[in-house]
Amino acid sequence: SQQGEEDPQALSIQEGENATMNCSYKTSINNLQWYRQNSGRGLVHLILIRSNEREKHSGRLRVTLDTSKKSSSLLITASRAADTASYFCATTSPYGNKLVFGAGTILRVKS
Amino acid sequence: DGGITQSPKYLFRKEGQNVTLSCEQNLNHDAMYWYRQDPGQGLRLIYYSQIVNDFQKGDIAEGYSVSREKKESFPLTVTSAQKNPTAFYLCASSITGNQPQHFGDGTRLSIL
């Protein structure tokens, strides 16, 4: 069963613009993670935010978490053509030991 | 260089044939996972293993089998019982179950 759902399904922006992707989930979580997947490749871990954290930064990435709304957002600032990829959120439950992935957002950054 | 190696990159299966996908990691991770990815979709968990000689079914285990005889290795067998095996298969590992996962570059399986 897939817990996370990303929104939008696809996003196309110009280089230099910011990109925002949203993730909603259904049950309590231990943490929420964001991953990037380039076409035909494996996933790469970007950032992890714990259930007791509200915001986290890593370079041009900013992740927020609102546990009351069961949602998270990933903001990529000053996007580059190299940011073109699919982005997935994944959650872990307080009791489980595995990730549950959403269907992903396809981001295209045009140069 | 530490990482996860999946082989082969492309694999073709004939009717009624079992095929085995290899996954090896040198990250000294305890946990390993197998996922299936269909076009335009997210990852679905097939099997996972928290420790050597132990593994659990994921959401779509039917038609697949695994073994975990060594910490470094977690091979996946796609059996003839899996009627729709065409997909991109990804292997991952992590220190423990809730921690970030490191992924291999996948095996693309097709039917001949």
What is the C-alpha radius of gyration for chain A, rounded to an integer number of angstroms? 13
pLDDT value at residue B30: 95
Cβ–Cβ contact A48 with B under 8 A: yes
Q: Which amino acid does the sequence have at B39?
A: P
A6 HSE (CA, 13 A, CB side): 30
Residues B10-46 have pLDDT tens digits of 999 888 899 999 999 999 999 999 999 998 888 999 9
Contacts of B92 in chain A (CB under 8 A): 42-43
User: What is the Cα–Cα distance from B75 to B24, expressed in whole angstroms?
Assistant: 8
Residue A1: pLDDT above 50?
no
What average pLDDT score do residues B70-96 get? 95
Please tell me the predicted confidence (pLDDT) of residue A3. Answer: 62
* Contact state of B33 with A98 under an 8 Å Cβ cutoff: yes
**Over chain A, what is the mean pLDDT?**
94
Query: What pLDDT does residue B15 have?
Result: 84
Confidence at A20, pLDDT banded by 50, 70, 90: very high
* Strand bridging mode A100-101 / A71-76: unpaired
Task: Check whether A41 has a pLDDT greater than 60.
Answer: yes
pLDDT score at B1: 62
Predicted pLDDT at A63: 98
Which of A46, A99, A101, A105 to mutate: most B Cβ within 10 Å? A99
User: How far is residue B27's CA from residue B32's CA, in Å, rounded to a whole number?
Assistant: 11
Quick check: B90 and A42 in contact, CB under 8 A? yes
Q: Mean pLDDT across the stretch B80-91?
A: 94
Q: In DSSP terms, which residues pair with B31 in a beta bridge?
A: B94
CB-nearest partner of B48 from A44, A88, A98: A98
Q: Do A42 and B43 touch (CB under 8 A)?
A: no
Contact B89, B38 (CB under 8 A): no
Q: Six-digit token pair at A81? A: 């053509």
User: Per-residue pLDDT averaged across B43-51, rounded?
Assistant: 96
End-to-end CA distance of chain B: 35
Asked if A107 and A17 count as a contact pair (C-beta separation under 8 A), the reply is: no
Chain B CB within 8 Å of residue A86 CB: no
